[in-house]
Chain A
Amino acid sequence: MGTLALLGFGPGGWGAALLGAAATTLLLALAGFALGLVLGGLAAAGRIAGPAPLRLLATGYTTLLRGVPDLLVIYLLYFGGSAALGGIAGWFGHAGYVGVPPFWVGAVALGLISGAYQAEVFRGAYAAVDRGQIEAARAVGMHRGLILRRVTVPLVARTALPGLGNVWQILLKDSALVSVTGLVELLRQAQVGAGSTRQPFPFYLTAGALYLAITTVSNLAFARAEARARRGLP
């Protein structure tokens, strides 16, 4: 079987499987990014405006998760998660090994990691917000919540967009690490194909090309979003 047929969509071809796995990769990254958005927003808010213990906790979180290898975090959640779930199941009288769904291990790990980076992005964007515009909002009688919703958050979001684009790129590439849990995302599917056909090179090359396509397209999407968001910004 020729290399092209091997990667094609015909009988015995792996094309459909690889594309499906690429979709899993995208979903995984999206879930991780969404979770990271929540965690990052909370951590940034904690560092900016929280009381001392919360500030310390948020600082510890961002420092630890940005300093420790992502692979190690995935191992922690993969092995530690099933141990913890097993413990909880034990309380309810269920004995034995409890597996955690790899997709959610991956999504939570990527969420934790990207949240730490997103927190830094938000913090930087908040520091860059023009205080005069906040003051103008106070001067027209807006209360705190309204200022946050109508002025601060939109301004922070705009400034944060390029940084969030970077985090998304990192996250997409990091999602390949989740393959160690056995989740059939893009890289894992390539591994499976490589193993069963004994032709690793075309499979990894194809996986690489698909990743490149995804990162390039999302780069363009972020560039467009930035151009839209920059409307009105000097």
Chain B
Amino acid sequence: MLAPSPVPPEAVAVRDLRKRFGAAEVLRGVSLTAREGEVVAILGASGSGKSTFLRCLNLLEVPDAGEITVAGEAVRWRQRRGGRVPADRGQVDRLRARVGMVFQGFNLWSHRTVLENVIEAPVHVQGRERAECVAEAEALLAKVGIADKRHDYPAQLSGGQQQRAAIARALAMHPRVMLFDEPTSALDPERVGEVLAVMQALAEEGRTMLIVTHEVAFARDVAHRLVFLHEGRIEEDGPPAETIAAPRSDRLRQFLARCRIGVA
């Protein structure tokens, strides 16, 4: 490359991803590229394959076909009886360490305090200095607004606080990409805002984020791009405001109508 590219490099690239569970074909060829700093909101009805898609990106699910590239490194595969598997477990672990994941159910480690949750992977997976990790974890917890809870156990926190702790845990790995799998779906309605606010701040920092969500208003206001999945395929992919204001497909129109939010 001679001339510097005007577009930022690819953070995640996925080509023709396919996944079936038994008879059900959940992903039927999904291709998507997210560039660095891009915030992509992924919408879709339940069963559209959006969570499976996200879980394939860090190989929590192994896709049957298709290629995955994270930060320029493509996942290597090996054929095995009954399908393919990643060729190199070490590569998978390395890749996962570069991708932060935030789950619908928080999945904080219940036997460790909030601070211990945050420093666990930096210390034990990345092998970093404990003291340095603690200092950084405290800064991250302050950033998500729960510094005072650092010595509490997850069960002592509200859902919103747990999810913010889970976001801090994911950030502590210095991930290249953050994946959010319906991060507010398990929360009480009055707790949703505090988590969305943290996510918005991250987006404004220029982080690369892929967010599976039902929060259409958040997608419209914060995301750079909206992807609508339907029955395992990408049905629409465009700028959020325009796409929501004027959906091209009937399916997105029906989906938005069911979400019944103030889209105006």
**Which A residues are within 8 Å of any B CB, using their own CB?**
130, 132-133, 135-143, 146, 150-151, 154-155, 158, 231-234
Contacts and interface: CB of A to CB of B under 8 A. Distances in A.
B107 interface: yes
Given A140-B97, A141-B125, A234 B110 contact: yes
Interface string B85-110: 00001101111110101010111111
Given A138-B60, A232-B154, A232-B155, A130 B107 contact: yes
B103 A135 contact: yes
A207 to B, nearest CB: 40
Given A136-B103, A141-B92, A232-B156, 20 more contacts: A130-B107, A132-B106, A135-B60, A135-B107, A136-B166, A136-B169, A137-B109, A139-B60, A139-B99, A140-B101, A140-B169, A140-B170, A141-B94, A141-B173, A142-B93, A143-B90, A146-B124, A150-B124, A158-B111, A232-B111
B38 interface: no
A136 B107 contact: yes
Contacts of A132: 103, 105-107
B103 A140 contact: no
B112 interface: yes
The 6 closest A-B pairs by CB, nearest first: A232-B153, A141-B97, A132-B107, A140-B121, A136-B107, A141-B96
B112 A232 contact: yes
A146 B124 CA distance: 8
Question: Which among A135, A142, A232 has the greatest number of chain B C-beta atoms within 10 A?
Answer: A232
Contacts of A137: 109
Contacts of A136: 101, 103, 107-109, 166, 169
Contacts of B121: 140-142
Interface in B124-170: 124-125, 153-156, 166, 169-170
* Main SS class of interface, A: helix
18 contacts: A130-B107, A132-B105, A132-B107, A133-B109, A133-B110, A135-B60, A135-B103, A140-B97, A140-B120, A141-B93, A141-B125, A142-B93, A146-B124, A146-B125, A231-B153, A232-B154, A233-B110, A234-B155
A139 B101 contact: yes
Contacts of A143: 89-90, 93
B58 A139 contact: yes
Given A142-B121, A232-B113, A133 B107 contact: yes
Contacts of B153: 231-233
Contacts of B89: 143
A155 B111 contact: yes
A234 B162 CA distance: 13
Nearest to B122: A140
Interface residues of B, number: 34
Nearest to A155: B111
Contacts of B58: 139
Nearest to B179: A139
A136 B103 CA distance: 8
Contacts of A234: 110, 155
Residue of B89, B96, B107, B154 ringed by the most chain A CB atoms within 10 A = B107
Contacts of B96: 138-141
A148 B162 CA distance: 23
Nearest to A144: B89
A152 to B, nearest CB: 11
A104 to B, nearest CB: 36
A44 B147 CA distance: 40
Given A232-B155, A234-B155, A151 B109 contact: yes
Nearest to B112: A232
A135 B107 CA distance: 8
Q: Which of B109, B112, B170 has the most CB of A within 10 A?
A: B109
A151 B124 CA distance: 12
Contacts of A139: 58, 60, 96, 99, 101, 103
Nearest to B94: A141
A141 B91 CA distance: 9
Nearest to A142: B125
A137 B96 CA distance: 10
Nearest to B113: A232
Contacts of A141: 92-97, 121, 125, 173
A140 B107 contact: no
Contact of A150 (B93, B120, B169): B120
Contacts of B103: 132, 135-136, 139
Contacts of B124: 142, 146, 150
| B60, B94, B101, B121: residue with the most chain A Cβ atoms closer than 10 Å | B121
Contacts of A142: 93, 121, 124-125
